[in-house]
Structure 1
Amino acid sequence: MNDRIVVGLDGSAESLAAAHWAAREALLRGVPLHLVHAEEWASPRDLPVPTSEVRRRWAQALLNETAEGLRASHPELEVDIRSIDGRPAAELIGMAAAAHMIVLGSRGLGTVTGFVLGSVGMAVIQATVRPVVMVRASEDAVPRPDGRHAARDLLVGVDISRPCDALLAFAFEEAARRSCALHALHSWSLPPLVGYGATYDPRVHAQLEMSAEASLRDVLAPWRDKYPDVGVIARASIGHAPTELIERGVESGLIVVGRRIRRSSIGAHIGPVTHAVLHHAKAPVAVIAHE
C-alpha cells in the first residue's frame, strides 16, 4: 500500500529543505511522512572503532530534531523516523514500493560537481517507478507560516510524440490538490531545411507551429475534461526543450518532467531533457516514470 512520503535525510541544507517540502506535500495528500537516514556504519581500519557509534548518535539526533521541528510546524502531520545501516540509494529504492513518492535534496550544479549525476538521487530516479522529487535549499523550500506550498503555478514538460499519461495524471492531480494553474509546455525544433538560410519559409514555420499547438491541445483534452477546475495554459514553442523548461520554471512551484521506462540490458535511462532540468532548475523537480 502506497501510504507515505519518504524523505532521505543527510543533514545538508538541501535535505532539510526536502523534508519541509515533503511535510507540506504529505499534508496535501493526507499521508504520513517517513524520515530516513541511511549510512554504512562499518569503520575503516585506520579509524577508531567509536567512530561508527558517534555517527549513529549524530544520525539519531538529526532525525529526532527534524521530526520534532516538523511536528511543531504541522501538529496534524504524522511523522516517523528510521536510521538504517546500509547504502542510502539501495535502502531508498527498497522503500519506494510502499511510498507515494521519494523526496530528496539536490544541490544541482555549481562550484561542486553535480550532486544528481552519479549520486543517490540519480540512482533512485533510475531504479524506481514512483515519483521522485528533487528539492533545492531555496526560499520556497523552507518552512512557511501557513504550512502550505508557495502559491505558484505548476509546469509540466510534454512530449506530444509519445504517450505520457502517467506524467499528465501526476501533473493534473497535483495542480488540483494545490488549486493552482498548470502550464503545459511542448518545445520543438525546426527541421534544418525549414529553419535556416535561404530555405527558411515563414509560412511553413507557421504551419508547423499551428500543428504542434493543435497536437498539444489534443493530448491535453481528456485531462482537461477529467479536471475541469484546473486552469491550463498550453504552449508549443520553438526552442531547446531543457532551456525553455528551466527558464519558464523559475516562477513555478514545481516542474514535472518524465522518465521513460526502458526494459533494456543496459539498464534505466534518464533522457537529456530531464537530466538538464534536474541539474539546473531552481524550482523543485518531480520526475515521473512512464511507459
Structure 2
Amino acid sequence: MLLPVIAGVDGSAESMAAAEWAAREAVRRERPLHLVHAWNWHPRQTDGELANAAQRHLAQRSLRQAEERVRGACPGVQVYDEQVEGPATPALLDAAERADLLVPGSRGLSGFTGFLVGSVALGVVAKATRPVVLVRAGEEPEDEHRPAADGSASTLTGYRDVVLGLDAGDACGEVIEFAFEAALLRRARLRVVHAWRPPSAISLGPGDIALLDDPQRGEEWQGFLATLLQVWRDKYPDVEVVECVPKDKASTAMVRAASGAALLVVGHRLTDRPSSPRTGPVTHAAIHHVGCPVAVVPHG
C-alpha cells in the first residue's frame, strides 16, 4: 500500500487549511489522505471518563469537519481518519513514520507574517524523520498558481515556482530529490537558491586574500551549483531549473526567494540529540517568516 499524506487536525482554521492543502498534495501524488487527531487521556482525574468522552466527541467533530472540507475541495481524494491518544507531538511523530509526508495543522501557526510556531509544530519539524510541510492559515488553492492575464487569482493557470534553498557546500540528495519531485508534480519551474558571503580575512589562508573579487566568486558558485545539479537535471529532464546565487545571508535570501512561490523546500539536519526541538537558522527563518507552504526535509 502506498504511504499516505497525513494531516494533523485539531479543529482550528489553520488545521483546516493544512488538511485541504494535504488533500491537494495527496491527489498530486496519487496517494490516500489520512486525517489524524490526537487527544490526551486523563486516567487519574476523578472525572476522567467524562473528560475522555468529551475529547473523543470533539475529536470526531474536528475530523468530520476536516473530511467534509477536503471532500468538497478534492472530491476524488481517498480519505480516512483516526483518533489517537496521547500528547500531540509524539502522536504526530509516530504517524509521520507511516507517512509519505506530514502536514501538522496547529493553532500555533499564523498566516500574517509567516508561522508563529507553537510547541507541537516546532517539535514535529525538529524531530520528524519524514518530510513535514507547514501551511499557513488562509492558504487557498489559487495561492499556488500564477495570476490570470488580468491579474486576478486563478486555479486555471500554471503553478508558481517551487523554490529550493540549498547549501551547495553541504548538498543532500533527499532534499534535492524532494524539490525536483514537487516541481515535476506541479509542472512548475524549480528555482534553486544558494546564498554566499565573501570570506573574511581571518578565514583565508596566506596568499588567498583578494584572489577573487565578488563577481568572480558569484560566477564560481554559479558554475559549481550548475555542476552539482546536472545529475538531477538528467534524472528530471522535464523540470525547468534556474540557479540563483545571491550574495546575501542564507536565511534572508530564502525568505526573499520564497515570496510569490508555490512551495519552499529546505533541509533539516537530524542531530545526535533528538530530544532537542531545534532547527538551523535557515529552517528557523523559513518557518517563522515565509508566507507560502514550507517543506522541511530531514536528512542525516
SS of equivalent to 2:246: strand
TM-score, with length taken from structure 1: 0.87
In 2, the alpha carbon distance for the partners of 1:221 and 1:268 equals: 35
Change in Cα spacing, 1:11 to 1:178, as seen in structure 2 (3 Å) is same
CA shift digits 1:139-177 (9 cap, x unpaired): 436899998998211000011111311110000011001
- In structure 2, C-alpha distance between the alignment counterparts of 1:131 and 1:265, rounded to whole Å: 16
Give the deviation of 1:108 after TM superposition.
Answer: 4.9
1:188-223 deviation digits (Å, cap 9, x = unpaired): 1112349xxxxx979611221111111111111111
Partners of 1:150 and 1:11 in 2: CA distance? 31
CA-atom RMSD, angstroms?
Answer: 3.1
Distance across 2 between alignment mates of 1:166 and 1:60 = 36
1:213 to 222, 228, 235: 222
Q: Report how many residues are paired.
A: 284
Residue 235 (structure 1) shift: 0.6
For residues 52-67 of structure 1, the aligned pairs below 5 Å read 52-67=52-67
Per mean C-alpha deviation after superposition, the further-off stretch among 100-109 and 226-235 is 100-109
| Aligned match for 2:164, one of 156, 169, 172 | 156
Does the 8 Å contact 1:108/1:278 carry over to 2?
A: no
**Which residue of 225, 233, 244 maps to 2:234?**
225
Given that residues 143 and 262 in structure 2 are in contact (C-alpha distance below 8 angstroms), is that contact kept between their aligned partners in structure 1?
Answer: no
In the aligned structure 2, how far is the partner of 1:65 from the partner of 1:108? 19
Contact 2:222 2:244 in 1 (8 A): yes
How far the C-alpha of 1:100 sits from its partner, in A, is 0.1
Residue 69 of structure 1 aligns with which residue?
69
1:182 to 190, 194, 203: 190
Show the counterpart of 1:282: 291
Alignment of 1:69-218 (within 5 A): 69-105=69-105, 108=109, 115-116=116-117, 119-140=119-140, 151-193=159-201, 204-218=213-227
- Counterparts of 2:278 and 2:96 in 1: how far apart (Å)? 18
Q: Which amino acid aligns with 1:187?
A: A
Match of 2:271 in 1: 262
By how many angstroms is 1:55 displaced? 2.7
Query: Amino acid of the residue matched to residue 216 of structure 2?
Result: Q
CA distance in 2, matches of 1:130, 1:149: 30
Gaps of 5+ in 2: 145-152, 203-208
What whole-Å deviation, never above 9, does each CA across 1:71-96 have from its counterpart, x for those lacking one? 23322211111112211111111122
Deviates further, 277-286 or 241-250: 241-250
TM-score, normalised with respect to structure 2: 0.84
- In structure 2, C-alpha distance between the alignment counterparts of 1:181 and 1:111, rounded to whole Å: 26
Following TM superposition, by how much is the alpha carbon of 1:126 offset from its aligned partner in structure 2, in angstroms? 2.2
Q: Distance in 2 between matches of 1:18 and 1:110?
A: 12
Q: Is the contact between residue 8 and residue 37 of structure 1 (CA under 8 Å) also seen in structure 2?
A: yes
Aligned to 1:250, the other structure's residue is in SS state: coil
Which SS does the other structure have where 2:94 is aligned? helix
Q: Which amino acid aligns with 1:284?
A: P
- The Cα of 1:276 is off from its aligned counterpart by 1.2
Unaligned runs of 5+ in 1: 195-199
Distance in 2 (alpha carbons) for counterparts of 1:36 and 1:250: 30
